[in-house]
A and B are shown apart, each in its own frame.
Chain A
Amino acid sequence: KNEVEQSPQNLTAQEGEFITINCSYSVGISALHWLQQHPGGGIVSLFMLSSGKKKHGRLIATINIQEKHSSLHITASHPRDSAVYICAVQKTSYDKVIFGPGTSLSVIP
Chain B
Amino acid sequence: EPEVTQTPSHQVTQMGQEVILRCVPISNHLYFYWYRQILGQKVEFLVSFYNNEISEKSEIFDDQFSVERPDGSNFTLKIRSTKLEDSAMYFCASTLPGGWLHFGDGTRLSIL
A10 within 8 A of partner (CB): no
Q: Choose, from A18-26, A71-79, A93-101, the stretch at the interface.
A: A93-101
| Other-chain contact of A43, B48, B97, B103 (Cβ < 8 Å) | B103
Which B59-112 residues have C-beta < 8 A from chain A?
Answer: 89, 91, 93, 95, 97-106, 108
Given known A-B contacts A43-B91, A94-B97, A99 and B42 have beta carbons under 8 A apart: yes
CB–CB B33/A96 < 8 A: yes
CB–CB B44/A31 < 8 A: no
State how many angstroms separate the Cβ of A9 from the closest Cβ of chain B. Answer: 11
Q: Which residues of B contact A48 (CB under 8 A)?
A: 99-101
Smallest Cβ-Cβ distance to B106: which chain A residue: A41
Alpha-carbon distance between A35 and B101 when the two chains are bound, in angstroms: 9
Alpha-carbon distance between A88 and B43 when the two chains are bound, in angstroms: 10
Q: Which residues of B contact A27 (CB under 8 A)?
A: none
> Interface residues of A toward B: which range?
20 to 34
B56 within 8 A of partner (CB): yes
Q: Which residues of A contact B104 (CB under 8 A)?
A: 42
Q: Which residues of A contact B99 (CB under 8 A)?
A: 48
State how many angstroms separate the Cβ of B38 from the closest Cβ of chain A. Answer: 12
CB–CB A98/B45 < 8 A: yes
Q: Which residues of B contact A33 (CB under 8 A)?
A: 101
State how many angstroms separate the Cβ of B25 from the closest Cβ of chain A. Answer: 14
CB–CB A97/B100 < 8 A: no
| Other-chain contact of A41, B33, B93, B98, B108 (Cβ < 8 Å) | B108
Binding site for A on B (CB under 8 A): 31, 33, 35, 37, 42-45, 48, 50, 55-56, 89, 91, 93, 95, 97-106, 108
List 28 contacting pairs A-B, 8 Å CB cutoff, sorted by A. A30-B98, A35-B101, A35-B103, A41-B89, A41-B106, A42-B103, A42-B106, A43-B103, A43-B106, A44-B103, A45-B103, A48-B100, A48-B101, A93-B97, A94-B31, A94-B50, A94-B55, A94-B95, A94-B98, A95-B48, A96-B33, A97-B33, A97-B35, A97-B93, A97-B101, A99-B35, A99-B42, A99-B43
Give 4 nearest A-B pairs by CB, closest first: A93-B98, A43-B103, A99-B43, A42-B105
